[in-house]
């Protein structure tokens, strides 16, 4: 019986205004938009008993949702914390004021202060505009926290010190990085990219916040989750992606949405967690996934020790 809490990732849309190099858009299929009616159904499924955090992101760009303002209003008065991940291009004063206090943390993804690197990584986006929007967010947001998610790609590492300095000099101090570059179920060539070990070292050297534990509410929750699930994959089991069509997904890394396990109109969050616990490795999703060899027992102990603040 599942009695642990996890995070959910809710995809308002799989549509995106960017063509980032690390995101295999071609695998996403026809871009979809979650209607406000469907989102109301999602919200009915969300409770603080099952979830400690809901991230609005998925594979698209939430700010491109045609009813963005209406969707934001629906977040008010819900029992869990909502965070949002965005590329920042469509944040303006009106939107930032609307988000303030409704979203817990607004996370802007950013690759580099160098325009050439930025445009190579964040293809289709306007570097100057995104930087201006970040500064605007930093000055306008009073209740919502602003954080930056730095892209863990090798192309960004050379300019990382300058990128970090720009943020710190501008008063933006919550800088984070993921120690995993997901190959999105085999869709990305990660051969040339930094390993998790190297990224962890970079995170430490530059005193960045590691996103590694952002999906883990407590060690107890991870242990219960580990025991309950037949597939021993902590990243998968710590998160539930709810797609823009309202499907609960087998794994958030299933970018092609090959393996839905239920629809929000039919099954509760707790029921779908129990259903997922019984699933076995889906070779089509897992075989080429870069996360599958991570978080085996020794890795779990190491990450657990880090969580408790021990030196490892
Ligand atoms: C898929 S995006 C969706 C939200 C929004 N469009 C954005 O760009 O932030 C969510 C986050 O995943 C990150 N991301 C995308 N592809 C990735 C990959 N292959 N490995 C690790 N992180 C990745 C992005 O940098 C971003 O911070």
pLDDT of residue 311: 45
Q: What is the pTM of this model?
A: 0.92
Question: Is the CB–ligand 1 distance for residue 199 below 6 Å?
Answer: no
Strand order in the sheet with 82-86: 209-210, 175-177, 145-150, 105-110, 82-86, 51-56, 6-10, 239-242, 247-249, 260-263
- What's the gap in Å between 196 CA and the centre of ligand 1? 16
DSSP secondary structure code for residue 13 in this structure: B
Beta strands in 134-186 (DSSP E): 145-150, 175-177
Beta strands in 114-254 (DSSP E): 145-150, 175-177, 209-210, 239-242, 247-249
pLDDT of residue 312: 41
Q: How far apart are the first and last CA of the chain?
A: 33
pLDDT of residue 196: 86
Q: What average pLDDT is seen over the chain?
A: 90
User: Could you say which residues of the chain have pLDDT below 50?
Assistant: 311-312
- What's the gap in Å between 23 CA and the centre of ligand 1? 7
pLDDT per residue as tens digits for the range 221-278 = 888 998 999 998 888 999 999 999 999 999 998 888 889 999 999 999 999 999 999 9
* Residue numbers of the domain that contains 256: 6-307
Domain assignment present for 25: yes
pLDDT of residue 214: 87
pLDDT of residue 260: 95
Question: Is the CB–ligand 1 distance for residue 229 below 6 Å?
Answer: no
Residue with tokens 């293809």: 123
Question: Is the CB–ligand 1 distance for residue 211 below 6 Å?
Answer: no
Question: Residue 120: exposed, middle, or buried by beta-carbon count in 10 A (0-12, 13-18, 19+)?
Answer: middle
Q: Which helix (H) or strand (E) holds 38?
A: helix 36-44
Question: Residue 190: exposed, middle, or buried by beta-carbon count in 10 A (0-12, 13-18, 19+)?
Answer: middle
Q: Which residues of 46-85 are buried (b: 16+ CB within 10 A; e: fewer)?
A: beeebbbbbbbbbbbbbbbbeebeebbebbeeeebebbbb
Residue closest by Cα to atom 18 of ligand 1 = 182
CA 70 to chain centroid, in Å, comes to 22
Domain assignment present for 219: yes
Domain assignment present for 1: no
pLDDT of residue 8: 96
pLDDT of residue 67: 98
Contact 102, 75 (CB under 8 A): yes
Question: Is the CB–ligand 1 distance for residue 59 below 6 Å?
Answer: yes
Biggest CA–CA distance in the chain, Å, is 51
Question: Is the CB–ligand 1 distance for residue 86 below 6 Å?
Answer: yes
Domain assignment present for 312: no
Domain assignment present for 268: yes
Phi, psi values for residue 229, rounded to 5°: -95, 135
Nearest Cα to 192, choosing from 150, 159, 157?
A: 157
Count of structural domains, the chain: 1
Domain assignment present for 156: yes
Q: What is the CATH number of the domain that holds 233?
A: 3.20.20.70
For 301, residues 6+ apart whose C-beta sits below 8 A from its C-beta are none
How many residues comprise the chain? Answer: 312
Tell which atom from ligand 1 comes closest to the C-alpha of 59: 1
Tell which atom from ligand 1 comes closest to the C-alpha of 122: 8
């Amino acid at each position: 019986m599942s009695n642990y809490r996890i995070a959910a990732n809710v995809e308002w849309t799989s549509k995106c205004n960017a063509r980032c190099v690390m995101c295999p858009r071609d695998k996403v299929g026809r871009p979809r938009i979650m209607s406000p009616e469907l989102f109301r159904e999602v919200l009915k499924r969300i409770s603080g008993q099952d979830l400690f955090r809901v991230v609005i992101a998925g594979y698209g760009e939430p700010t491109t949702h045609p009813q963005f303002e209406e969707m934001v209003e629906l977040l008010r008065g819900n029992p869990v914390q909502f965070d949002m991940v965005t590329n920042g291009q469509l944040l303006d004063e009106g939107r930032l004021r609307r988000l303030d206090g409704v979203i817990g943390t607004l996370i802007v993804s950013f690759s580099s202060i160098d325009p050439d690197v930025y445009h190579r990584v964040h293809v289709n986006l306007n570097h100057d505009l995104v930087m201006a929007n970040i500064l605007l967010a930093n000055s306008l947001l009073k209740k919502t926290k602003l954080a930056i998610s730095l892209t863990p790609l090798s192309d960004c590492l050379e300019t990382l010190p300058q990128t970090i300095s720009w943020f710190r000099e501008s008063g933006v101090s919550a800088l984070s990085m993921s120690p995993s570059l997901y190959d999105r179920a085999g869709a990305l060539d990660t051969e040339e990219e930094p390993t998790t070990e190297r990224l962890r070292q970079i995170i430490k050297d530059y005193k960045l916040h590691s996103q590694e534990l952002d999906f883990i509410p407590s060690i107890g929750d991870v242990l219960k989750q580990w025991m309950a699930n037949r597939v021993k994959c902590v990243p998968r089991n710590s998160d539930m992606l709810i797609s823009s069509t309202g499907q609960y997904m087998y794994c958030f890394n299933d970018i092609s949405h090959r393996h839905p396990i239920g629809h929000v109109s039919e099954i509760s969050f707790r029921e779908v967690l129990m259903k997922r616990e019984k699933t076995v490795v889906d070779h089509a999703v897992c075989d080429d996934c870069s996360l599958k060899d991570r978080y085996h027992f020794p890795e779990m102990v190491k990450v657990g020790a880090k969580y408790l603040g021990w030196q490892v």
